[in-house]
Every structure is written in structure tokens, then in C-alpha cells.
Structure 1
Amino acid sequence: MATLGSTAAANRSTPTESAPTPGTTPGERGVPQTLTERSTASTTTPRMVRPEAGFDYVAVRSGENAPRSAAIRFEAPDGLTEWRSLHFHGDGRDDRPATPAALTPVPAGCTGYEISAEGTDRAECVAMNLHDGGKVRMGGRPVGELYDDTDTDPKGGLLVKYRTRAGWGADESLRFNDEGEEEWPTAYYPVQAITVHHSAWEIGDDGAAANVRAIYHLHAVENGWGDIGYHLLIDPDGTVYEGRWSGSDLMPIFRTIPLPGRAEAVTAGHVYQFNSGNIGICMLGDFTDRMPTQKAQDSLVHTLRALCWITGVDPVEEVEYVNPVNGKKATQQGVSRHRDWLPTECPGNTFAEHFDTAIRQRVARGLV
């Protein structure tokens, strides 16, 4: 039977350390603390908001209900940019109200932004600066591996390399309150399904790791969840990033080394009210009008194939999902799109249209 291992758990060779963050000494890794400036913007009478410090991303939250449509534009050195659509996600922890929010990168050199929206009068905005904060030192391995360690892999080579939370720069202090308690304690349930998302916003000029840090800050702090809502994330180059904290055993996603039919995943926050026992993978980018890169698609297929093999989830067969915490039920294919669960455009219209042939069927063929 297949199991999942990690380089640390199996005492395999230690991966090469990542390059030091600029400004650190050789052998020392760290990332700047995320700085924020909050404002309340009128969406009926847009006004320019000019953060005092530089900013790399803007997060927009609209209360309990997402606006019917929303857009943002920026004040650039040569004038105002075109309006850019904002796509809101309305998911989160099952034990909290849904928190619709959107995130967008800021073009280089911009000094302000304004919001326009239909269906809401005001929006809570957060300008994020991912560069100028004090350094947060990163400990632990920057990269890891998930693999079938029993030599029962049907095709061979189901190893999945990923960047750890330390590798992409997760500030672990964000998971705790002022009393030192975890904001979102881990809970584990048998895996029943796997769901694919898109982030619905483009990656900024600083690259995918900074984008993951921005999503983490939005989910953990601004939305108040206490952590990022996805188990894994994949960038356009096909790099896989560890998401939701799953314990201190160096094993992403799972409580322990999993066995098919008995794999227990930490509960995350990616399909509202259907989270427990549901693994969430987010493709970084907006795939409303285009497909993910071929590298990203191939990485997703490879990762899904490995997860299906080690958990026993059949990607094409229907699953009678039951949330073990709140009793919510749904009939889905083992590997599904976010929109199959809830009324949302995620993972983007173009990607969703081709998902079965481009992703799910490829995963299934590789397991035969």
C-alpha cells in the first residue's frame, strides 16, 4: 500500500538551502514583515487613497456579501491606469461567517488607488508593503518532498517537490493571538475529496513567493482566520508551495504518514461549509480568460495524481461527501472545481471549461 513520506521523516538527503534574502548575511534566511495601511473607501463616489508608504498589494473586503462587480485603478507616474476587475472569494473557515475578499498586485511606481463597486457602498481596503518591514527570520528547511516510499507507485516518479512555509517566508507569529494561543487550532479528518481553485488575481512583480505571503496575510490577519486557507498552491513555473499549517511533524497536509482510505488532512478554509476532509489546491493567477501555463498544469496533474494515489481518492468517480463537523452533504467527483461546490466563477471560466480533459482525465489515466 502506498504511503506518503517526507525527506525529514525518511532521513533522505537534506535539500540545498535557498539563497539568502537580500540584506541578510550568508547562511541566514529571512523575509520582511508585512506592513499594512488600512482605509475605508466609498465605492459610490470613488476617491484616491494614497498610502503613506510604498505598497505592493491591495486587499479589498466588503462585509458579508461580495459586490456584484468591482474594479480598482491606480495612480501611476504617467497618470491613472485602466480599471482592473476585482474577483472576490467568499470562503473561509466553516466556524466563521464567510469573508468575501479580493487581492491585487500594485504596478511598480504607483502612489495611490481607488475602488469602484456595485452592490456595496463602502469597502475596507488594506495596502500591503512586503518590502520595508523588519526582518522575520526563517528557520527550518526551505524545500521538501512528498513521495511514495513503498515502491508500489504504479507509474514511478510520483515524488512532489515543494517549498515549505519557511521556504516562501511564512511569518508563523501570525498564527497566534496575544496570549500565544493558535488562532486556528489544527483538526484532522479522513480525506474524501480534492478541490482546485485559482487565486483570481495576477502575481505581482516580486514573484510567486511574495504573492503567497500576501494571500497568507489576507487570510490569517485581515480575514481573521489565523492561517492561509489552502493546503497547497502552484505558481506558473509549476512550483508547489506548502499552505495550511498541519503540525510540527514536517508532514504537509496530513496528520501523519497517510494510507489510502485512512489519510487524515488538516481542515483548511477553501470551500465554505465543505472544508473538513477536503484538500484544497490553489493555482496562482486569474484564469477567467486564459489557461494556466503548461508547466502549472503539468505540476497540478502530477500533484493530484500523487495525492489521489496516497489517499485513495478516485479523481473521476462520484463521492458522497459529508462534512464530519457540520453534516453538510454534496455529491462531487473525487477531484472537483471550486464552482462544483458553490456558486462562484473559481477556478476561472476558461480553466473550468477545459478542466476535465486538461486535468482530471490526465490524472485518472496516470493512475491506471
Structure 2
Amino acid sequence: MNTPITSSQSTSPQASPSPAPSPSPAPSPTPAGTRTLSRRRFGLGALAAGATLAVLPAARAVAAPAAGTAPSPATGATGATAGLTRIPVPEAPSFLSLRFPGDSTALAGSLAGSLTGSLTGSAAGPLGSSTGTPTAPAGSPGTPTVPTATVHFTAPDGTRTSRTVHPSGHCRDGAFPLCSDPVAVPAGATEAYVDTPTTTAHIHRVETGDRTVADPEATVLPGLTVVSRRQWGADEALMTWAPEWAPPVCVTVHHTAVPTGREPQYRHNWPAAVRSVYRFHASSDDGGRGWGDIGYHLVIDPEGVVYQGRSTGVAGHAVFRPGSAAGQVVTAGHVYRANTGNIGVCLIGDFQTGEPTAAALDSLTTVLTALCSALGLDPEGRVRYVNAASSIDLTQPTVTGHRDWEKAAGTTECPGDNLWRRLPELRRRVAAAVGGTTPSGLLSGGSR
């Protein structure tokens, strides 16, 4: 999951749109099988504390500032900031999201006519050279024309940082609220406002309760078990999306972006991060996505523990329909209009700015090896992905990154440059493992 932030700029200190409140202080595995990944304790970090959010109502709209310039605050006839509505951000860990007018079908309309053909160039690239961030020129196929909004954050010294946020192509198929993915509030920010009057901003509290997890109990495949929904504390009252099934075709790798995976005070409680993502995806309360379940099939934390995501409707069984011999995968919600038969594996972290840990990369390699081996997929090959319901016909890498689905779901940074550039080596290592050979070289990651 990644907020497609297309611009970020800091400006010189100047008057805040309104008096800034004083910032509050920041809140302060045992193997059980061949591919069983476990740990006894797991955490989610605070993204910001003591911030307030000011949203401009329709009568007080402000145009987005030009690149390299400071945003202009909303002012009345006397230069006051009377038009701002403030939303307090709780001291507890939280993040921000935006809800745009309309629903997710606007994403489909913005990409009409660009959905047939093989992805080439910077978006998918040669399988041996995933480098750089894919971009598309304005007006080209795959460039969304849906609304955007700019969020302006103000620090105590008056310095502002602006981020332009798009609706997210990380979405369940169908018509759902048109939302952004989570947006991290910069550390120390005391105020924020959105300059698009038809867009609403929402603050989400994250889960932080500690939870002890014993040996994983959810079976994905013979020899691969993961932490079950019961074990990580899923509130099944939020699970309203009945399982749907399709033959597995490919695997897509994601990152959460928020949480970043670098929050030290929650390093031993990662199930809380999974619960936060689940609630944001499943519930429509307070600006949530409203899908009825988490959008990923599997989630990997920075310590390498793997969690069940999307429900199969049967306790203890993950990803595949029980009794189908891995022939039917439950449909999830991680690539808009390309979810059917597409297995989503998400690493907790922000890999646009940070590095995946060695433990997470090792677990990702293990998961991809198990999936490709059981499903007969060539990890270094390509597959033709056809989704008649979405009018999608694309040739994709078998193991792909979220950004490589640009023609189906629009542009995104996900899974971040620092994970995406590792995909060729990941594919090579998985292919060697599936073929029974030993790959040369090392797949290095960041340390904790």
C-alpha cells in the first residue's frame, strides 16, 4: 500500500494559516516446520503527535501553489484565517487519509483505452534491470485524470511541507469510496490543511495493543504456515467480504509505506500494524476504505514474520480455497481491476525512503519460492493476465511490483524504489530455489 505522492517540497518559514498549538510530546521466532515463520512477540510506531489538521471549506478554497513556492493561507477580508476548520490529531499514533468526490470507478474511466498490451520501458522494464521510478507524461495512457489534493503541513517554526496526493489504485475491484492510501504526518508537524474543497481529510488511530503469538497456525501450502488472523487479533466483525475464487496467475509485491517499519518503540508488536491496515481497509468508518477485509493475501513484518491477510472463510487456511490443491486463490484487493487470480504479498515498511530488512527479504524469498513451486509458475517469466470483468489484457512479469500495473491501476511508488530494484535478484533467487540450484551473490537488506 503506498500513497502516490507526486510532489514534496519545503518552503521558507512564514505565517501559519492560524495560530499553531503547542506540540505535544511524542508517545513515548521459533521455527515450526520447513517454511514456518514465527516469533513470540511483535509493534507499530507513532507517525506524529500533537498535530492539528485544518481543512479548507468550499468558501475558503485555496489554489495549489506552484512548484517551489509557499502555499498561500486562506484569508478573510482583513487577512485573518477565519475560514479554517480544525480537526485535532490525537496524541496516540495516527495517520491521515483523504477521501475524494465520487467512487473508485473514476479510476477506470481515467485509464480507458490504455489497458491492452505489454508493459514496457520504466514501468515494467527488462526483468534484469528494474531501476528508477516509473513516470508517465501528462495525458499519456496510464496517467490518471481523477482529482488530486495538496496537503500542507506546518512545523512549529513555520516551515511548510506540501504533498500532492492522488486517489489510490490500491483498491478492491468495484465501486468503493475514492480514497488515498495512508499519509504519514511529518514528525513535529503542528498543523495541516487541504486546499481542495471537495476533498475530506480523516485521522485514523492505529492499533498499539501488545499481543503474544505462539507458533503460526494458518496453512498456506504444505510446509508453509503463517500467523493466523486469530493469532494477530483480527476483529472478524469487520470481515463482511465473502470469499470469491479464481485460478492463481501471478504474484504482486507491495509495501505499506505507512507504517514505515522504522518505529523502534513498537518493534516488538507488529500484529498491531497488521490490525491497523486491516481496519483501514475493511471499515468505512472515519474515512476508511470499506472493502470488508484486508486487501493483501500475506503480510511480512520487518522481523520476517509472515501473517495471513485476506480471509478464506475457513479458520486455519490462508490464501487458497481449502481442498482445491492451491487451484483456487481467494480474491483480495491490492491492484484495482487486476485482483482476480493475483496474489498480493505486502512488506511492512516505506521502501521509497528506507530499506527492507534482510529478515523480511528472506521471508519474501521463502514465500515466493513456495508459491511458484506449488503453482508451477516461472518466477523469471511473464504471464498473460486477462480479466474480462475489467477489460484487462496485459502481459506481466509472473512476480511483479505494484507499480508495474500502471496501465490497469494508475501510477504509484509502491513497492518503493528500494524494494522494486531488488525484484530481478529476488526472481533469480526464487528460480534457483525452485530449480534446486544455489544462487550466487547475496540479497542484502537493511539492518534493524
- Secondary structure at 2:181 match in 1: strand
Distance 1:19 1:129, change over 3 A: closer
Matched, 1:56 2:93: yes
Q: Which of the numbers 220, 225, 229 marks the counterpart of 2:295? A: 229
Shift of 1:264: 0.7
Shift of 1:122: 3.3
Matched, 1:92 2:171: yes
Shift of 1:242: 0.8
Hey, what's the Cα distance between the residues in 2 that align with 1:141 and 1:247?
A: 22
The equivalent of 2:55 in structure 1 is: 41
Equivalent runs, 1:274-285 vs 2, <5 Å: 274-285=338-349
Equivalent runs, 1:185-196 vs 2, <5 Å: 185-196=242-253
Read off the aligned partner of 2:92 and give its amino acid letter: F
Contact persistence 2:54–2:193 (CA under 8 A): no
The equivalent of 1:114 in structure 2 is: 192
The equivalent of 1:246 in structure 2 is: 312
Q: Which of the numbers 229, 232, 238 marks the counterpart of 1:165? A: 229
The equivalent of 1:101 in structure 2 is: 180
The equivalent of 1:328 in structure 2 is: 392
Contact persistence 2:89–2:203 (CA under 8 A): no
> Which has the higher mean CA deviation after the structures are superposed, 48-57 or 219-228?
48-57
The equivalent of 1:353 in structure 2 is: 421
Shift of 1:272: 0.3
Read off the aligned partner of 1:61 and give its amino acid letter: L
Hey, what's the Cα distance between the residues in 2 that align with 1:250 and 1:129?
A: 26
Contact persistence 2:381–2:398 (CA under 8 A): yes
Distance 1:98 1:318, change over 3 A: farther
Contact persistence 2:53–2:193 (CA under 8 A): no
The equivalent of 2:136 in structure 1 is: none
Contact persistence 2:249–2:342 (CA under 8 A): yes
Hey, what's the Cα distance between the residues in 2 that align with 1:71 and 1:329?
A: 35
- Secondary structure at 1:184 match in 2: coil
Q: How many residues align?
A: 315
Contact persistence 1:50–1:112 (CA under 8 A): no
Shift of 1:51: 3.4
Distance 1:300 1:115, change over 3 A: farther
- Secondary structure at 2:173 match in 1: coil
The equivalent of 1:143 in structure 2 is: 216
Shift of 1:58: 1.7
Matched, 1:125 2:202: yes
Shift of 1:223: 0.8
Distance 1:86 1:165, change over 3 A: farther
Shift of 1:216: 0.9
Read off the aligned partner of 2:330 and give its amino acid letter: V
Shift of 1:99: 3.1
Of structures 1 and 2, the one with the larger relative CO (CA 8 A, separation 6+) is 2
Contact persistence 1:98–1:272 (CA under 8 A): no
CA radius of gyration, larger in: 2
Indicate the percent of aligned positions where both proteins have the same amino acid: 31
Matched, 1:197 2:261: no
Structure 2: which 5+ runs fail to align?
A: 1-31, 44-51, 63-72, 75-83, 108-145, 436-448
Matched, 1:217 2:279: yes
Read off the aligned partner of 2:352 and give its amino acid letter: T
Structure 1: which 5+ runs fail to align?
A: 1-6, 22-37, 150-158, 176-182
- Secondary structure at 2:404 match in 1: helix
- Secondary structure at 1:219 match in 2: helix
Hey, what's the Cα distance between the residues in 1 that align with 2:300 and 2:91?
A: 27
Shift of 1:325: 4.2
